[in-house]
Structure 1
Amino acid sequence: MNTQWKLEGDYLESCTCKGACPCLYLGAPTEGDCTALVGWHISTGQYGDVALKDLNVAVALYAPGPMAEGDWKAVLYLDQRGDERQQEAMETIFGGQAGGHPALLASLISEVRAVERVPIRYEAEKGQRHLTLGESVGAHIKALAGQDGGDIHIRNHPLAVAPGESLVVAISQSLFHQAHGIDVDLSERTAFYSPFAYAGP
């Protein structure tokens, strides 16, 4: 019998694309390939009888071409604050074995280069999101200002980390990851954030 699970919270992504990211619309990355950090803060969540509230997960990934075509290389980071059962549950969900939308995302990954348990901080404040893994790896992003200073939103894009949600368009203040052959050190590139809600099976 499949384990029932449900997660809700906030997510961010920051990548190497310039300007409006074509990957959302199934196009090729602006640099030909794409390196990204994606982070999730679970505000409420359950995997069977395992509570996942207030834990964080992150993925560093490299896509050699259009992201919708797959062949991603990835590193999965699990919040070391979680106990063994919580970390196993998060690895099962975000590794794609528990079904739901994470399974669709995981189907685009051809190689998981590592699964690491590290300190993960995910901070959300008005117009900004901050993801830090360990001492230095991370993404710090800030919303771009739209008309009258309001947020800029993208909806109904075909390639979505958080389907059904409206993305806030942001820009990276820093994006840094250098491990397992997935290396990036940039700023002033594409970023997004939004709520997310996943469930399965």
Structure 2
Amino acid sequence: MSTEWTINGDYLESCSCQGACPCVYMGTPTEGDCTALVGWHIATGRFGDVPLDGLNVAVALNSPGAMADGNWKAVLYLDQNANEAQQEALGAIFGGQAGGHPAMLASLIGEVRGVEPMPIDYTIEQGKRHLKLGQSAEAEVYAIEGQDGQDVTIENHPLAVAPGETLVVASSRALRHQAHGIHLDLSERTAFYSPFSYAGP
């Protein structure tokens, strides 16, 4: 019998695309391929009887072409603060084995380069998100200011990490990852953040 689970919180993604990222519209990345760092902060959640409140997860990935075509190379990072049962739960959810929307995202992965526990900090501030993975990777993103100082947003995009949510369009102040053959050291590139809500199976 499959384990029931639910998680809610905040997510960010920052990638190598310049300008308006075509990937969320099923387009081809501006650089030919797309390399990205994605992070999730779980505000509240459970996997069966295992609580997941306050934990973080991150994925570094490279898509060789349009992201919807799959064949991604990916590394999954699990919060080092999680105990053994929590790490197993996070691995099952974000590895796709537990169903729900993460299973759809995982189906696009062609090669898992690694699954590692890691100190993960995820900071939420007004107009800013900061994801830090130990000393080796981070994404620091700031919302782009729109008309009358409001956020620039995207709705109903076909390729969504957080279906049903409105993306805030942002720009990276820092974007770096140097491990498992997935390399990033960029700034002033595309980023997004929004709430997320997943459940399964």
Shift of 1:136: 3.5
Matched, 1:103 2:103: yes
SS at match of 1:36: strand
Rounded to whole Å, the distance in 1 between the matches of 2:189 and 2:63 is: 16
Shift of 1:67: 0.2
Contact 2:80 2:119 in 1 (8 A): yes
Q: Give the aligned partner of residue 37 of structure 1.
A: 37
Q: Give the aligned partner of residue 138 of structure 1.
A: 138
Rounded to whole Å, the distance in 1 between the matches of 2:175 and 2:148 is: 28
Rounded to whole Å, the distance in 2 between the matches of 1:76 and 1:90 is: 10
Matched, 1:87 2:118: no
Q: Give the aligned partner of residue 23 of structure 2.
A: 23
Any unmatched runs of 5+ in structure 2?
none
**Residues 36-75 of structure 1 mapped to structure 2, 5 A cutoff:** 36-75=36-75
Rounded to whole Å, the distance in 2 between the matches of 1:98 and 1:117 is: 19
Give the TM-score taking structure 1 as reference length: 1.00
**Residues 178-193 of structure 1 mapped to structure 2, 5 A cutoff:** 178-193=178-193
Shift of 1:7: 0.3
**Aligned pairs, number:** 201
**Residues 114-125 of structure 1 mapped to structure 2, 5 A cutoff:** 114-125=114-125
SS at match of 1:151: coil
Any unmatched runs of 5+ in structure 1?
none
Rounded to whole Å, the distance in 1 between the matches of 2:102 and 2:140 is: 23
SS at match of 1:40: strand
Give the TM-score taking structure 2 as reference length: 1.00
SS at match of 2:2: coil
Rounded to whole Å, the distance in 2 between the matches of 1:67 and 1:101 is: 16
Shift of 1:135: 1.5
User: Counterpart amino acid of 2:11?
Assistant: Y
SS at match of 2:105: helix
Deviations 1:101-153 (CA, angstroms, capped at 9, x unpaired)? 00000000001000010100000000000000002311000000000011011
User: Counterpart amino acid of 1:121?
Assistant: D
Q: Give the aligned partner of residue 156 of structure 2.
A: 156
Q: How well do the aligned residues superpose, as a CA RMSD in angstroms?
A: 0.4
Rounded to whole Å, the distance in 2 between the matches of 1:47 and 1:137 is: 27
Rounded to whole Å, the distance in 1 between the matches of 2:110 and 2:137 is: 23
Q: Give the aligned partner of residue 128 of structure 1.
A: 128
Q: Give the aligned partner of residue 76 of structure 1.
A: 76
Rounded to whole Å, the distance in 1 between the matches of 2:118 and 2:21 is: 29
Contact 2:136 2:178 in 1 (8 A): no
Rounded to whole Å, the distance in 2 between the matches of 1:17 and 1:4 is: 36
> Percent same amino acid among aligned pairs?
71
Q: List structure 1 segments (4+ residues) > 6 angstroms apart after TM superposition.
A: none
Rounded to whole Å, the distance in 2 between the matches of 1:137 and 1:182 is: 11
